[in-house]
Amino acid sequence: MAAQKKLTRAEQKALRPIQILDAAFEEFVRCGFAGTRVEDIADRVGVTKGTVYVYFETKEALFEAMINHFSVPFQQLLAITESLSGSATDRLISILGLLYDQIAEDRTTRELTRFVIAEGHRFPDLIDRHHDQFIEPIIVKIDALILEGVATGEFRAVPVEFSDIVVAPILTTTVLRLIFDDRRVPTPNREAFLRTYFDLLFNGLLAKPR
C-alpha cells in the first residue's frame, strides 16, 4: 500500500477550520452547548485552545458555524428536488424519500435536530435563519406539488396546512430515535416504513371516504 501523502503546512491550515467544526460537532453532541469546553474541542483536533479562537472568536460563533456547516446537505437536497420529473405523486414520493434519508437516517442531521430543540432558545436568530434557508424552501416545494396535484386532479383538495401533516411521520420517527437511541424504538426498516407511510398518505385510513 502506498504511503499516504503528507499534507503541506498550507494544506493543513486550509483543513483546520473543517477539522475544528467536526470536533466541535462531536463535543456538542456529547456535552451540549453549556457543557462543551473549547479546550476539549482543541484536544480532539490536536491544537491549542488559542488556535480554535483564531478561526472562531467565541464558543457561540463556533456553534453557529458548526450548525451552518452541517446544514449544507439541505441545500443539496433542495437542488435535487428541482431536477425531479414525473407526476406530482412521483415527485412527492421522491422528495419524501430524500427527506427520510436526510433527517431520520442520517446521524448528523438527527443531532442537528437535537441542537435545534435543545439550544434554540439560546440562538433564536440562528434557528430562524436555518429554518428560512434550509427548511422553508422544502416545505414550499411540497406545498407547490400538492397544489399542482390538486389542480391536475391527482389529489383531492386539502387544507393549506397539509404539508405539515405530510412531513410529520418523518419528524416523529427522528425525535423518537433521539429520545430512546434505539433502546425502545428499533431502527425502522427503511423500505417498510416508506411503503406504509406512502400507503397511509395517499390512500388514507378509511375504507370508504366520508
Q: What is the pLDDT of residue 53?
A: 96
Low-confidence ranges of the chain (pLDDT < 50): 1-2
Domain boundaries, the chain: 9-57, 70-203
Q: Tell me, what's the pLDDT at 208?
A: 64
Q: What is the pLDDT of residues 122-138, one digit of tens each?
A: 899 988 988 888 888 88
pLDDT at 182 (0 to 100): 67
The domain 70-203 having CATH identifier 1.10.357.10: the answer here is yes
The per-residue b/e assignment along 108-135, b for 16 or more CB within 10 angstroms, e otherwise, is: ebbbbbbbbeebeeebeebbeebeeebb
pLDDT at 117 (0 to 100): 87
CATH 3.40.190.10 is right for the domain spanning 9-57: no
